[in-house]
Chain A
Amino acid sequence: MDFDLTDEQRLLRDTVRDFARKEVAPVAEELDRTKAFPYELVSKMGELGLMGIPFPAEHGGGGADTLSYALAVEELTRIDSSVAITMAAHTSLGTMPIHLWGTDEQKDDWLPQLTSGSRLAAFGLTEPEAGSDAGNTKTIARLEDGEWVINGAKQFITNSGTDISGCVTITAATGDGDGRKEISNLIVPNGTPGYEAGEPYRKMGWNASDTRPLTFTDCRVPESSLLGRRGDGFKQFMQILDGGRIGVAAMGVGLAQGALDEAIAYAKERRAFGQPISKFQAIQAKIADLSAQIEASRLLVYRAAIEKDRGDPFTLTAAQAKLITGRLAVRATEEAVQIHGGYGYIEEYPVCRFYRDAKILTIGEGTDEVQQMVIARQLGC
């Protein structure tokens, strides 16, 4: 087994680490407090090529692999989750379906502006009564005079309502073939009449990321907006979610690592009873345990990424990675707050934000319970 990163992977990781510390860290608290979308950072990330890491160079992407993408997501989350999810959702949920199933025309229309970060893409799967249970999709698209007429609602859709949001790929029921609902994916550009992104949610965390409910009321898009084959929607989004889990798992590792970084720095500085609290066994045990768990989880995430890059099945590993990293992030941020004591409860310290940002990682992109279901199925249960 080769545990070494390639030169390119290492250089990208170091560059994103540097970028996150110098460009993201100084503004993260303010962005979170004011719930302001990080336009400037997205633009800078676009210039560096971070908004299109795994896509081919011919479409303006970086031509890098999934592991490179995961490393970049991890390093961003180590400093700020809102910025990281903006990039991750744009890449693995928003842009990826168009890259995988778009026609040449759809790719030419969308990929250059998405991979450069000048436009953002969103993925509209979740509905009030259907998320991972997408068979229950209530959004309907009817083909009428060469146009899809869409009616329905989506919720919790990241990157859907910013000033630079370009399009959303949605799942919709396009028919009832042989008693089973036919699901297809459609690209809907922002600004299409009948498509409205609602007010942003008031969230527990990820405050600087843009998350909104969407409504479609007799929204018409050309027949050519169908992404991939009609009726392939279910298969397609399952594949998208599999890949997306690697990104979210990388966020779990990054957030846990960021929490540990802060906890160690604080423990070495804060003194009590005549010595730094890092010298107390109770604090050391927390730090040591977290560091061991983070390293183990990191390897699992990298393995899922490598499996995907090799073209091997990775559904099981990605779900395992997502399951343990989400829980780890919740525990690590809680311990980091604990090590900070009262200061950890104050927003001036990043661990306070980290703690609020962590919880979604056991929920988004499939809850822990859904991951358990995926894992158990993979194991033949």
Chain B
Amino acid sequence: MKICCLVKEVPDAAVEKRIDPETKRLDRSGEKNLNPFDTHAIEAAMQVKEGGAPVEEIVAVTMGPDSAVRALHKAVALGADRSVHLTDAALEGSDVAATGYALAKVLEKESPDLVLLGQQSDDGECYTIGAVVADHLKMPSLTQVIKMDAADGKLTCERQAEYGYDTVEVELPAVISVGDAINEPRYPSLKAIMGAKKKPLDSHGAGDVGIEPDRVGQSGSRTAVLELRPPPQKEAGEIIEDEDTNETVEKIVVWLDERKLI
């Protein structure tokens, strides 16, 4: 079995996020890191391998600028066997649909049995890239998977649904987006960190994987960001002083009742 993990370089969680008003894109100039949600996907792949399933290879795949190589180094330090970097100026400004198409083209070349990715990116937070990729690859897709067992060419997954859990069986190949409750990712050991650059890294341009130029980049994207605004400020809540608990409870009940919340 071959597992591909889709990973992304995102601004470090400690960096204050800022939108560039000119490009209406996230300012990615500061410290960057591997998307923390993707570390769960790599860990899930490692656990499938260590759980005894015949995994020949775990491949980390990313699309991004030169600096994204660092995210790949971290991915291989966390256990991936090699990595693939899709990088091309023509891809800059791709929206979710265009990015999903481009990644699917890389994956077609790799033809994995299982594609894993984190539930969301820490910057764009679209939650949708897995579904887009799956659609292009004509593979079944699941989201919010928090438990996964691979056996006999099938995958039994537990999904975290809105009210409870779904147990779903899918045929491989499939695209699985994992929830962050699926595991606690390991730390990369110093040995793995020092060895990261020795693992193979293939770099592809858009043309190398057969990406049609008019389907990617800002011009190839069908959505355009028109305006960005911070979320509205929350109004100050009403504070009820608890002088007499019976009275306080009554006040809260009245407040909730007025708003038809109970």
Find out whether the CB atom of A57 lies under 8 angstroms from the CB atom of B193: no
Output the nearest chain A residue to B33 by Cβ-Cβ distance. A14
Find out whether the CB atom of A8 lies under 8 angstroms from the CB atom of B187: no
Assess whether A271 is interfacial by the CB under 8 Å rule.
no
In the assembled complex, the Cα of A53 lies from the Cα of B196 at a distance in Å of: 16
Find out whether the CB atom of A62 lies under 8 angstroms from the CB atom of B187: no
Q: Mark B130-171, 1 if CB is under 8 A from A, else 0.
A: 000000000000000000000000000000000000000000
Find out whether the CB atom of A62 lies under 8 angstroms from the CB atom of B190: yes
* Of the residues A10, A48, A50, A64, contact of B194 by C-beta under 8 Å: A64
Q: Is the interface of B mostly helix, strand, loop or mixed?
A: helix
In the assembled complex, the Cα of A15 lies from the Cα of B196 at a distance in Å of: 14
Q: Of B77, B189, B193, which is in contact with the most chain A CB atoms at under 10 Å from its CB?
A: B193
Assess whether B74 is interfacial by the CB under 8 Å rule.
yes
Chain B residues 67-121 with CB under 8 Å of chain A are 69-70, 73-74, 77
Q: Closest approach, in angstroms, between the C-beta of B63 and any C-beta of chain A?
A: 19
Assess whether A11 is interfacial by the CB under 8 Å rule.
yes
Assess whether B188 is interfacial by the CB under 8 Å rule.
yes
Assess whether A104 is interfacial by the CB under 8 Å rule.
no
Output the nearest chain B residue to A50 by Cβ-Cβ distance. B190
* Of the residues A7, A10, A48, contact of B189 by C-beta under 8 Å: A48
* Of the residues B33, B194, B196, contact of A63 by C-beta under 8 Å: B194
Assess whether A349 is interfacial by the CB under 8 Å rule.
no
In the assembled complex, the Cα of A19 lies from the Cα of B187 at a distance in Å of: 7
Find out whether the CB atom of A11 lies under 8 angstroms from the CB atom of B73: yes
Q: Closest approach, in angstroms, between the C-beta of A186 and any C-beta of chain B?
A: 30
Assess whether A12 is interfacial by the CB under 8 Å rule.
yes
Once A62-B194, A64-B194 are accepted as A-B contacts, the answer to whether A11 and B189 lie under 8 Å apart by CB is no
Find out whether the CB atom of B188 lies under 8 angstroms from the CB atom of A15: yes
Assess whether A295 is interfacial by the CB under 8 Å rule.
no
Assess whether B191 is interfacial by the CB under 8 Å rule.
yes
In the assembled complex, the Cα of A18 lies from the Cα of B185 at a distance in Å of: 11
Once A15-B187, A15-B188, A48-B189 are accepted as A-B contacts, the answer to whether A8 and B194 lie under 8 Å apart by CB is yes
Chain A residues 321-363 with CB under 8 Å of chain B are none
Output the nearest chain B residue to A61 by Cβ-Cβ distance. B190
Q: Is the interface of A mostly helix, strand, loop or mixed?
A: helix
Q: Which residues of B contact A11 (CB under 8 A)?
A: 70, 73-74, 77, 188, 193, 196
Find out whether the CB atom of B191 lies under 8 angstroms from the CB atom of A62: yes
Assess whether B2 is interfacial by the CB under 8 Å rule.
no
Q: Which residues of A contact B73 (CB under 8 A)?
A: 7, 11
Assess whether B197 is interfacial by the CB under 8 Å rule.
yes
Q: Which residues of A contact B190 (CB under 8 A)?
A: 12, 48-50, 53, 62, 64
Q: Which residues of B contact A48 (CB under 8 A)?
A: 187, 189-190
Find out whether the CB atom of B197 lies under 8 angstroms from the CB atom of A7: yes
Q: Which residues of A contact B194 (CB under 8 A)?
A: 8, 57, 62-64
Q: Closest approach, in angstroms, between the C-beta of A22 and any C-beta of chain B?
A: 9
Chain A residues 2-60 with CB under 8 Å of chain B are 7-8, 10-12, 14-15, 18-19, 47-50, 53, 57
Q: Closest approach, in angstroms, between the C-beta of B111 and any C-beta of chain A?
A: 29
In the assembled complex, the Cα of A132 lies from the Cα of B52 at a distance in Å of: 56
Q: Mark A258-272, 1 if CB is under 8 A from B, else 0.
A: 000000000000000
Q: Closest approach, in angstroms, between the C-beta of B83 and any C-beta of chain A?
A: 13
Q: Which residues of B contact A49 (CB under 8 A)?
A: 189-191
Q: Which residues of A contact B69 (CB under 8 A)?
A: 7
Find out whether the CB atom of B191 lies under 8 angstroms from the CB atom of A8: no
Q: Mark A51-94, 1 if CB is under 8 A from B, else 0.
A: 00100010000111000000000000000000000000000000
Q: Please list the residues of chain A having a beta carbon within 8 angstroms of any beta carbon in chain B.
A: 7-8, 10-12, 14-15, 18-19, 47-50, 53, 57, 62-64
22 contacts between A and B (CB under 8 A): A7-B70, A7-B196, A7-B197, A8-B193, A8-B194, A8-B196, A8-B197, A11-B188, A11-B196, A12-B193, A14-B33, A14-B74, A15-B188, A18-B187, A19-B187, A48-B187, A48-B189, A53-B190, A57-B191, A62-B191, A62-B194, A63-B194
List 13 additional A-B contacts (Cβ < 8 Å) besides A11-B77, A49-B189, A57-B194: A7-B70, A8-B194, A10-B70, A11-B70, A11-B73, A11-B188, A11-B193, A12-B190, A12-B193, A47-B189, A48-B187, A53-B190, A62-B190
Q: Please list the residues of chain B having a beta carbon within 8 angstroms of any beta carbon in chain A.
A: 33, 69-70, 73-74, 77, 187-191, 193-194, 196-197
